[in-house]
Every structure is written in C-alpha cells, then in structure tokens.
Amino acid sequence: MVRCWKHSEAALEDPQCMHCGPISSSRVPHKVLWCSLAAMLLIVIIALSVTAHLGLQHKTQVIRIPDHMGDLINQSALIDKHNNVVTYSVTSHVNYTSTVIFDMRHGLVCYKPDNQDSCFLRRMESLDYENVQSQLNKSEQQLRQVWVVGNQTEKHTEFLGVLPSSRVEASTLQEPLQSLCQQASVYWTRRSDGPGKQRLIYFCIDICFPSNICVSVCFYYLPE
C-alpha cells in the first residue's frame, strides 16, 4: 500500500512539471522574436533618418576658375538644405584649400584661408542671401550640372579689413563654423573701398557663383 501511494503521488506531480515546462519554453522564443523585430525596426528608422539627411546635402561639380593672379584653381560647393548652409572649397594651383561658409541660419560668412590658422567673419548682406538661396532652391540634378566660367562672367573685387582687436572665441560660434575654426584665431572684418596706399593686401580668396559672378575677396589688416 505504501508503495502504491507513493507512485500515485509521483503520478500527480509529473503532469504539473510537464505542464510547466512547455509554457516557460514557449515564452522564450516569443521574447526573442519581439526583441529581434524591435531591433530591426530601430535599424530601419536610423537608416531612413540618415538617408533623409544625406538627401538634403548635395555636392556640386568641381569647376576650374582663374584666380585674381590668372592661375587656374578648383572650386566645389557642398549644399546643406537642412541647415541652410553653403560651403565652398577652393583649391589653389599649389594644392592649398580655402573654405568659405555662407550660414543663412545665423547670417554669417566665414572665411578660412588656405595654409593659415585664422578665420575671418562678416555679416551676410542682401546679395549673399540671394546667391545662397539660389543654390538652396536648385534640384540635385541642377546642382550637378557643370557650369563654366567664361567671357560673360562678371568679375569684381571686394575688400575686407581685419579688425585685430575684435577677436572672437571659436567656442562661441555655432556649427558648422565652430568645427571649421576650433583650432584657429577668429576675427571680425569690415567691408571697405580698399586698403589704401599705406596698407598692403594680405591675401585673396576667389569664389564663383552659378549666377555667373566671380568675386575676389581680398583681406588686409586695419590698425588697432
């Protein structure tokens, strides 16, 4: 009798153990499945976000333009429609690259000359807004079309006086200017009619716009 009673107790316990096993094991695959789906969804969202951001950035064709000395230089532009920024890169015939950023959001133009640890700032003017807006409004196909500087191109020179006493901390600038100038000395500039006989031109940066206008921006230092 004792032996049979023990056997019946084991028979009562066995179904419970067998019933618990499949339930716990069935929950594990479901949990793994939901985690996998969540991870895949997150990857898709990140990929779409990156694609959308890159879709708002277009690089124009590299063109060859003559600088103020007559030497041919290469110019390209990065159009960032998301942040309303146009960045020009101008590579000289000796392979130095100057960078010019037109930041519509903050109303600033920043010049980073080739082979120098300095940045120069000025406020955007109405013509700057027109040139930048014309770039931002173009489609990707239009931006990739080759445009050539020819005899019909309007060329002129602008003079900017550097104010040595108006130094700016690069950390106070907003992106993308801060990244460009983080290791450089930053100064404000002031537009003028020219350096005069007592002042020598320090350097020039040449930029051409799709509006068929080329500008030589020349800098010189003003007295403190």
Could you report the per-residue pLDDT of 14-33, keeping only the tens digit for each? Answer: 444 444 445 444 555 666 66
Other CB atoms closer than 10 Å to residue 5's CB: what's the count? 9
Instruction: Write out the two tokens for 73.
Output: 């230089």
**Distance in angstroms (rounded) separating the CA atoms of residues 2 and 22:** 32
**Residue 113 Ramachandran class (φ > 0 left, ψ -120 to 50 alpha, else beta):** beta
Bridge partners for 39 per DSSP: none
199-219 b/e (C-beta count within 10 Å ≥ 16 → b): eeebbbbbbbbbeeebbbbbb
Confirm if 9 and 1 have CB atoms less than 8 A apart.
no
Instruction: Write out the two tokens for 39.
Output: 């991870």
pLDDT score for 110: 98
Alpha helices by DSSP H, the chain? 2-55, 126-136, 140-143, 177-181
pLDDT score for 129: 93
Query: In terms of residues, how long is the chain?
Result: 224
Sign of CA dihedral 217, 219, 222, 224: positive
Other CB atoms closer than 10 Å to residue 109's CB: what's the count? 20
pLDDT score for 211: 75
Which amino acid, one-letter code, is at 61? Answer: Q
DSSP state of 126: H
Confirm if 91 and 77 have CB atoms less than 8 A apart.
no
pLDDT score for 25: 47
CA dihedral 146, 151, 154, 158 (to 10 degrees): 90
Instruction: Write out the two tokens for 103.
Output: 């930041």
Other CB atoms closer than 10 Å to residue 45's CB: what's the count? 10
57-70 pLDDT per residue, tens? 566 656 666 666 66
Domain residue ranges in the chain: 60-145+159-192
Q: Per residue of the chain (224 residues), what is the pLDDT tens digit?
A: 444 444 444 444 444 444 444 544 455 566 666 667 776 776 655 555 444 444 445 666 566 666 666 677 788 889 898 899 999 999 887 888 999 999 999 999 999 998 889 999 999 999 899 988 888 887 666 556 555 555 667 888 999 999 888 999 999 999 999 999 999 999 999 998 887 776 777 889 988 887 778 889 999 988 76
**Distance in angstroms (rounded) separating the CA atoms of residues 178 and 129:** 21
pLDDT score for 118: 94
